[in-house]
Amino acid sequence: MKKSSIDGKEMILIPAGEFLMGTDRIDDEKTHLKIGAVKPLFVDQHPTRKIFLETYYIDKYEVTNGEYKKFIDATGYDELPGHWKNGTYAQGRGGYPVTHITWREALTYA
C-alpha cells in the first residue's frame, strides 16, 4: 500500500500485464438515439486490441464529487462535469464518485 504524495489517498500497485481493450460491437440498433447520445455507441472503441501496461499505482477508492470540487477550487481548472449545475454537484452527492469527466480531465486531476 502506498499513499499519494499529493492528496494522501491510499494507492494500490497494479502489476504489469496485458488486457483486451475496446470492442468490435457496432451500434447498429442506433441505441445512442434512444438514450440521447450525440454519436453512435462504441465508435471510439474500435477495434478490440491487446494492450500491455507497465506496473502502476491507482487510487484504492474512486475520486468523489467533493474531492474533484476541491481540486477545481484549488487549481482554477475550468472544465466541470457536464451534469453539474451552478458550478457544483447535486446536494448530498459529495461522497459519490465523480462521473462524466473525460480521460484528459482525469489525467489532469491525477
Q: How confident is the model at residue 65 (pLDDT cuts 50, 70, 90)?
A: very high
- Residues 81, 36, single domain; the answer is no
Q: What is the number of residues in the chain?
A: 110
| Angstrom distance (rounded) from CA 81 to CA 1 | 30
pLDDT in tens, 89-110: 999 999 999 998 888 888 888 8
- Residues 55, 76, single domain; the answer is no
- Residues 76, 53, single domain; the answer is no
pLDDT in tens, 26-35: 766 677 777 7
Q: What is the value of pTM for the model shown? A: 0.68
Q: For residue 19, which amino acid is it?
A: F
Would you call 106 helix, strand, or coil by DSSP? helix
- Residues 7, 33, single domain; the answer is yes
Phi-psi region of 60 (alpha: psi -120 to 50; beta: other; left: phi over 0): alpha
Count of domains observed in the chain: 2
Q: Which of 19-23, 26-30, 54-58 has the lowest mean pLDDT?
A: 26-30
Domain span holding position 33 = 2-59
